[in-house]
Amino acid sequence: MDFDKIADAYKNICESINLVIAEGVGGVRVPLTIEFDLLDLAIEFDLPIVIIASLNREMMNHLLMTIDCIRAAKLKNAGIVINNYDATTATTTKDAAEQTTNQCSGVNIISTVPYDKAVDIAGMNLGEFILGSLTNCDWAKLAKR
């Protein structure tokens, strides 16, 4: 992996666009090499982090540990997006999870993307709910430090 090329490409993009959203690939500690992970990349570019998480009891531990990693790296945690929320199968209510998350971490949930059976990422179909859930976010405000 050529990190100089990645850094140059990122710098060029940032110079020509007002807002850049960089997507991770599974979590802040996903290794890119033996010695360098996504958190290191976020530190290198001083990126604010938006955590994408499922909403269930099992994910709370993972979510809180992710928040701890971001804080330890002294990066801005811009908020949490709950993904694929299905009230009919969720192990906790949306309100209870939001309250617990905020009380335990101080990080706000900025959007909840509902479950949509029509979503087919491979077929490039985002369904009818995803874009609406994410367009209400003030991404420019979240990106500011």
Q: What are the tens digits of pLDDT across the range 57-110?
A: 678 888 899 999 999 999 999 888 888 777 777 667 777 777 778 888 888 888
CATH C-level class of 3-143: alpha beta
User: Residue 96's pLDDT is what?
Assistant: 75
Predicted confidence (pLDDT) per residue in 19-47, tens digit:
888 878 889 999 999 999 999 999 999 99
CB neighbours of residue 97 within 10 Å: 25
Q: Give domain limits for the chain.
A: 3-143
Predicted model pTM: 0.80
